[in-house]
Amino acid sequence: MRVHIIGTGLLGASLGLALGAKGHQVTLEDTSPTAQQLAADLGAGQVVNPTEELAEAADPTVAADATSPAAHPDIVVVATPPDVAARVIASALEDYPNATVTDVASVKTRLLEAVRELVTEPQLDRYIGCHPMAGREKSGAIAAQSDLFTARPWVICSDEQTPADRLGEVIAMAEDTGASVLHLDPRIHDAAVAKVSHVPQIVSSLVASQLRHAPLEEISLAGQGLRDVTRIAASDPGLWTQILTGNAEEVRSVLIDLRTELDEVIGALELGPGSTGLLAKAIALGNEGHDRIPGKHGQPPTTYAVVTILVPDTPGMLARLFKDIGDLGVNVEDFRMDHASGRKLGMVDVSVVPAIQQELEIGLLSKGWQIPESAIEKEGTA
Amino acid sequence: MRVHIIGTGLLGASLGLALGAKGHQVTLEDTSPTAQQLAADLGAGQVVNPTEELAEAADPTVAADATSPAAHPDIVVVATPPDVAARVIASALEDYPNATVTDVASVKTRLLEAVRELVTEPQLDRYIGCHPMAGREKSGAIAAQSDLFTARPWVICSDEQTPADRLGEVIAMAEDTGASVLHLDPRIHDAAVAKVSHVPQIVSSLVASQLRHAPLEEISLAGQGLRDVTRIAASDPGLWTQILTGNAEEVRSVLIDLRTELDEVIGALELGPGSTGLLAKAIALGNEGHDRIPGKHGQPPTTYAVVTILVPDTPGMLARLFKDIGDLGVNVEDFRMDHASGRKLGMVDVSVVPAIQQELEIGLLSKGWQIPESAIEKEGTA
């Protein structure tokens, strides 16, 4: 396919790398000549001069299979910042009258409304809104990765009006990036990302914000819990302002629910009658919501057994550990290195299916690893 | 040393395992005979009959070096649930008139006040409040680990009244668990844990709580951001109710500050004048707080370079990866496996010091690993 990408930031450049690797003809366009050239230099696609290309596209004497792919793209992907996406989509529908036009913006309802205001009905059928659920804390083409979309959900918001062949093109392109296609109504998508992405972002930022003026001796008590809750607080304010503005209504509605529960907790902390029950309820409702989050690979939540191994922080030790685990024939479902404070030691939590936990622990102990797991220590000393 | 541990849950049993491994004589006591026996069976120490022991301790004809260590412990550690800790500390000061008495409760000011109400001045000098910053999402002796305290901060709240020899005993015991000792005023400790532990816990629970009634198709969009923010939402409501109650004033004060900022965000989401600036400010303040969290090993925050490697989810692949990394002589500062959705593929983020990022990438690419890092891909194709 001939794919023309408008906007060569993290998502646009990553898409170009992914599709180029699959043999598609990718052309690039960006309002910033530097950003455009950088993405091309990184191998994300071929830079075109939009003016020349559009002149060619408008010229009926130039055949549709002209050597310049940007003149007649099969798909135009709008990967600009969200606040200009509607305008760029409308222009693309006009400039490329045969192409399917899609986008990668993380909010869909408001964008679709904005596009509807700019574009009339028959044109609109060629627009299919998308949201690949991929990103990094870094931004720009320099952070692009050809596998950014691999194994990530790629949401497609088509409707009954969408022609099947155009939908098929977008699905094929999304699948060629390695993503898993998911069809959702724009409103359901926006409600979902408010809960699973936008509200967690705001709350993570608010928790981190409380540390701004804390003395360093207080912050030195930070543990893995705080690090996990605030990891995404490092995200880009400019991009997030656009995302939150675009999904303001849904995000506000979830935040208001959250504030009601927060007010209950604040009230309970005055320690009046019934406060114990209210505090316990707040944590228990969190348990309930937490249990609904799907496990790895989109499967239903699974409780894995966690084996914690003490690993000296020297080169080669992780290699030895994972070689030993591999030699035992054990498949690792997940792992995490815990940050140690004050000394050069790591604790590695390895998640495995519960049935092989004991086998793994016995195997690693016999290879000299320290596993402070009492259940097996007991067997070893009994 | 002879150490008597009262309360054989996760912390008490883990402490017994850690101190026993260092050759200390550990005795155990719990109001639940089952919990007490379980901890002893797991190797955490020797069960004593408190009544017999106390009779012996009170008998002046029995020498201080009697065979039964519980009669004359050097240190008594109170590791009960926080809501009974003050009473148990007071009893221990009375029952063991020569011992240093300490505890592991996660809130210090209120506990010290409660102990002061129960105990008179000369006795009080033998009490030294502690808080080892260690724990797990699991509870009970069955989850105990002899290395639970390894490389964790162990906060000691002594004051000018504390005799140096007793303080020295507690420091020696804490260091023998592998923990890093930290001296803090009880109020500073409580203000710190409100910010770095208690408020993150509440907020994590509140975010997870919003998922309780979300349709599964919405939750299927969950990514690593949500998983990180809500990991600790799986924690035990009973224990957390006691912790929050014990530190209610400090936690409430931080939550009220957080609510003020939340109200600003909710207001800004009405998209009136100035809303863009307010939203950007909320995320930017989060950046600022996030940047203050110390890095691994308690060092100042360091920005590591992250190399992302695509790893098929089959046994032995992690082994191969970490062997290859080890063969390159590269020290891994941190790593994380990213959850994939819908397919059997993992993405492993390996953090290294920036100076060796390129060497690592070139090395791994030459060994056939997929690294979607554009910077090197460019060099490879240029």
Provide the mean pLDDT of chain B: 86
Which pLDDT tens digit goes with each residue over B209-262?
A: 999 999 888 888 988 889 899 989 988 898 899 999 999 999 999 999 999 999
> What are the chain B neighbours of A341 within 8 Å (beta carbons)?
151-153, 180, 294, 297-298
Query: Which residues in chain B have their CB less than 8 angstroms from residue A28's CB?
Result: none
Using the predicted structure, report yes or no on whether residue B13 has a pLDDT greater than 50: yes
Which of A80, A231, A258, A261 has the alpha carbon at shortest distance from B269? A258
Chain A positions in Cβ-Cβ contact with residue B344 (cut-off 8 Å): 297
Distance CA B339, CA A196 (A): 15
Terminal alpha carbon distance of chain B: 67
ipTM over 0.85: no
Fold: same for B190-290 and B305-381: no
Q: Could you tell me how many residues make up chain A?
A: 382
CATH superfamily assigned to domain A305-381: ACT domain (3.30.70.260)
- Which positions in chain A touch B146 (Cβ < 8 Å)? 372, 374, 377
Report the C-alpha gap between B131 and B235 in whole angstroms: 19
Measured in angstroms, the CA of B126 and the nearest CA of chain A are apart by: 26
Contacts of A379 (CB under 8 A, 6+ apart): none
| Three-state secondary-structure class, residue A247 | coil
- Locate the domains of chain B by residue range: 2-184, 190-290, 305-381
Cβ distance B16 to B108 under 8 Å? Answer: no
Say which range, A242-256, A270-284, B127-141, has the weakest mean pLDDT: B127-141
B244 three-class SS: helix
Has domain A2-184 been given CATH number 3.40.1190.20?
Answer: no
> Could you tell me which CATH number the domain at A190-290 has?
1.10.3660.10
Please state the length of chain B: 382
CA B253/CA A351 separation, integer angstroms? 37
* Pairs of residues, one from chain A and one from chain B, whose beta carbons lie less than 8 Å apart: 530
CA-based R_g, chain B, Å: 25
Cα(A226)–Cα(A223) distance, integer angstroms: 6
* Percentage above 70 pLDDT, chain B: 85
Shortest Cα distance, chain A CAs vs residue B56, angstroms:
30
Q: Do B289 and A256 touch (CB under 8 A)?
A: no
Mean pLDDT of B320-328: 84
Q: What angle do CA B325, A224, A369 make, to 5 degrees?
A: 50
| Spatial contact of B254 and B199, defined as CB atoms under 8 Å apart | yes
pLDDT of residue A25: 96
Identify the helix (H) or strand (E) that includes residue A362. Answer: helix A357-366
Alpha carbon distance B196, A221 (integer Å): 7
Quote the tokens at residue A340. 């140690």
Among A106-110, A123-127, B69-73, the minimum mean pLDDT is found in B69-73
Give me B33's structure tokens: 């005979």
Please report which confidence band the pLDDT of residue A373 belongs to, taking 50, 70 and 90 as the band edges: low
Cβ contact, residue pair B231, A231, below 8 Å: no
Nearest Cα neighbor of B7 from B83, B95, B80 is B80
Give the amino acid at B138. Answer: K
CA distance B64 to chain A (A): 30
Cα gap B120→B101, rounded to integer Å: 14
Q: Rounded to the nearest 5 degrees, what angle is found at the Cα of B99, between the Cα atoms of B94 and B101?
A: 75
User: Which of B249, B293, B378 has the most A C-beta neighbours within 10 Å, making it the best mutation to test the interface with A?
Assistant: B293
**Interacting residues of A228 by C-beta distance below 8 A, sequence separation 6+:** B228, B229, B231, B232
Average pLDDT of A349-374? Answer: 81
As a whole number, mean pLDDT of residues B302-306 equals 69
HSE-up of residue A293 (Cα within 13 Å, Cβ side): 29
* Residue A351 contacts residue B355 (beta carbons within 8 Å): no
Q: Kindly indicate the confidence band of residue B327, based on its pLDDT and cuts at 50, 70 and 90.
A: confident
CA distance to partner chain A, nearest, from residue B77 (Å): 20
Give the mean pLDDT of A165-186. 95
Higher pLDDT, B53 or B379: B53
B289–A208 CB contact, under 8 Å: yes
DSSP E strand stretches across B20-133:
25-29, 46-47, 75-78, 100-103, 127-132
